[in-house]
Structure formats: structure tokens, C-alpha cells
Amino acid sequence: EVQLVQSGAEVKKPGESLKISCQGSGYRFDFYWIAWVRQMPGKGLESMGIIYPRDSDTRYSPSFEGQVTISVDKSITTAYLQWSGLQASDTAIYYCARLSTALAPLGSFDIWGQGTMVTVSS
């Protein structure tokens, strides 16, 4: 079964760092780009950026450039999203998703992780 499994919910304080994960299985992980998507409470979906596991080529959406870091460890088929200094406004559900077209940053987001809830509160 093709799936993406994300790490569990996190509760952090402002200023703390965090790294959440997304592990792929059931397919050739290094052939397909992975996207990260933010959903703030009661709001819509926002694409944060994408990464290609084969060579770690990363493209950020302008709103998220410099705010987060996307990385990958293809040896354990896992992508990451990290923050160096969380803010209350980072409170959201974060999803990873697979781009459907092998080898290119194209296509729909066809497989989604279950989401990771991140709560930032003092």
C-alpha cells in the first residue's frame, strides 16, 4: 500500500525549535516530489514547498521562504519540515503529500499523510 505516515502531535512554546517527519512507503520514494501543506485552524490549504528526495532539490512558496526548512533523508524514505523559532502563528495542521508525476514537480497531490497538529502556546 502506498502511504505517507507523519509524526505525532506537538505542543511547543514560542521560540522553541521543531522538526516533524513524513515517512513514505509502498512506492519508489526517491522518484516522487513531496509537498508540505499548512492548514491553520478553521482555514484553507496553503502549499509551503516541495522537495525531490533523489537530490534534495527544494522549492519554497514565497510566503514560507526563510520561515521553515524542508529536508529529506532518502535512506529512510523520510521528509522533514522544521522551524528554528516557533511563533504562535505557526499553530496549524501540517500535511505532507506526494506529487503524482514521477521525476518532475508536476501533477496532483495524490497521496496525503494523516497530518501533524502543531500547537505553539506559552
From start to end of 1-122, where are the E strands?
A: 3-6, 10-12, 18-25, 34-39, 45-52, 57-60, 69-73, 78-83, 92-99, 109-112, 116-120
SS3 58: strand
Q: How far is the CB of 55 from other proteins (least distance, A)?
A: 16
Residue 2 lies near other proteins (rule: CB under 8 A)? no
Among 57, 100, 102, 103, binds other proteins (CB under 8 A): 100
Residue 68 lies near other proteins (rule: CB under 8 A)? no
Residues 19-58 that bind other proteins (CB under 8 A): 35, 44-47, 49-50
Decide: 82 and 67 in contact? Cβ < 8 Å: no
Site residues (CB under 8 A) for other proteins?
Answer: 35, 44-47, 49-50, 59-62, 95, 97, 99-100, 105-110, 112-115
